Amino acid sequence: MIIGIDASRAFIEKRTGIEEYSYQVIKNLRNKLDGHRVVLYVRRGQSATIADGPLSFPSNWKIKIINCPRLWTQIGLSLEMFWHPVDVLFVPAHTVPIIHPKNTIVTIHGLEYETVPQGYSRWERFYMRLVIKNSCKWANQIISVSRNTKQDLINLYKVDSEKIQVIYEGYEDNFKFQISNFKSNPNDQISNFKKYKPYLLFIGRLEMRKNIIGIIKTFEILKEKYNIPHKLVLAGKGGHDFFEIDLKIRTSKYKDEIILPGFVKDEDKFALIAGADVFMFPTFYEGFGIPALEAQSVGVPVVTSNLSSMPEVVGNSAILVDPTEPEFIAQRTHDLLSDNNLRDDIIKKGYENVRRFSWEECAEKIANVIENESEK
């Protein structure tokens, strides 16, 4: 059997949510598809990134470059499916080509453009709606990254629940030891971030959907009302509506204490997270919410939203808040900073929570879906 995998999102230099998912799933599928030929479809220029990267592939895996500068999926990958069809196609990043095998599997990560439309341009909403509706119609099996996303697909797009399987994402288990080790044995990466300390942290795309303005308002209340000594670090690339966030920062009384380090490389990310006193993640919508797990995995307490998938992902292991109420977010954040018993309890529960998730288990379940499709 020949299995095709769209790897066009996996091998880029600066990976964020969906790109990280694609990379981790492919990485962990390498020893789970024995006996099958596997073809990874990549864009022109990505083969060098793969060759220079840390991953090696089994002999039954092949890298196939598709040269198509525009409409890579709908033209390039479609033509590849027409001329060189496969038995099963797995698309980890929600865009199924118009020409595809009957046994096509797609992962849908969330419908945030429907639930938080103000975070997207009119064109982005139109494009995402068209792409994902078609992907749900064309795919034989849909992988949803959370029960919340599955329910959104059923409620908003009337997708048959029988064709949707929930498979949770994982998290990158970079560090095997407790947070105290960072404080007692600082490495060079952590030292680089000492100039920020103490700080509250957000990591992700800086856009309205992530409630960045709400985080800034919360920070201002924490400074005014609770007189905390912390800085606020907002790490990540700007989204299409970043100009509104930038204006809020520039007009803030505490603008000099708001730090924007930009995109943080993988080798630095966990050190930056580990140095934070609280990880701020009260977003308006998350299909899954990997950053919250990454923070918990290194012993940093999380303040996150009580909406979308976040209660499902963190349960009682984080402080859940209404993302529209910065006063309440500030109060609960201050509780974490001032109450050691609460803080220790949330950190302990966070360590326990992340054990529920792994990329290995995620890939194992996806491999089972692929195997089942191949037998149809």
The answer on 150 and 28 residing in a single domain is yes
The answer, yes or no, to whether residue 118 has pLDDT greater than 90, is: no
The answer, yes or no, to whether residue 182 has pLDDT greater than 60, is: no
Q: What is the mean pLDDT of residues 334-363?
A: 95
Per the listing, tokens 């118009």 go with: 98
pLDDT of residue 191: 53
The answer on 132 and 47 residing in a single domain is yes
> Into how many domains does the chain fold?
2
Distance (Å) of CA 33 to CA 37, 40, 102:
8, 13, 20
CA distance 133 to 114: 12
Per the listing, tokens 């997708």 go with: 159
pLDDT tens for residues 46-72?
Answer: 776 676 677 889 999 999 999 988 899
- Whether 224 is in a domain gets the answer yes
- Whether 44 is in a domain gets the answer yes
The answer on 188 and 69 residing in a single domain is no
The answer on 145 and 6 residing in a single domain is yes
The answer on 287 and 219 residing in a single domain is yes
- Whether 112 is in a domain gets the answer yes
Burial of 218 (0-12, 13-18, 19+ CB in 10 A): buried
What CATH number corresponds to the domain at position 208?
3.40.50.2000
Q: What is the mean pLDDT of residues 207-216?
A: 94
The answer, yes or no, to whether residue 75 has pLDDT greater than 90, is: yes
The answer on 220 and 164 residing in a single domain is no
Q: What is the mean pLDDT of residues 94-111?
A: 96
- Whether 194 is in a domain gets the answer yes
Percent of the chain with pLDDT over 90: 72
Choose between 62 and 266: higher pLDDT: 62
Which of 35-39, 94-98, 239-243, 288-292 comes out lowest in average pLDDT? 239-243
The answer on 217 and 342 residing in a single domain is yes
pLDDT of residue 268: 84
CA distance 180 to 253: 34
CA torsion angle 370 143 365 40 (round to 10): 50
The answer on 266 and 148 residing in a single domain is no
- Whether 129 is in a domain gets the answer yes
The answer, yes or no, to whether residue 177 has pLDDT greater than 50, is: no
The answer on 310 and 248 residing in a single domain is yes
- Whether 141 is in a domain gets the answer yes
- Whether 156 is in a domain gets the answer yes
Per the listing, tokens 């982005």 go with: 124
Q: What residue numbers bound the domain in which 94 lies? A: 2-170+358-374
Q: What is the mean pLDDT of residues 294-304?
A: 95
The answer on 129 and 28 residing in a single domain is yes
Percent of the chain with pLDDT over 70: 92
Which of 16-25, 88-97, 124-133, 136-145 comes out lowest in average pLDDT? 16-25
pLDDT of residue 229: 96
The answer on 221 and 261 residing in a single domain is yes
pLDDT of residue 232: 97
- Whether 175 is in a domain gets the answer no
From the list 161, 217, 245, the residue with the least C-alpha distance to 333 is: 217
The answer on 319 and 212 residing in a single domain is yes
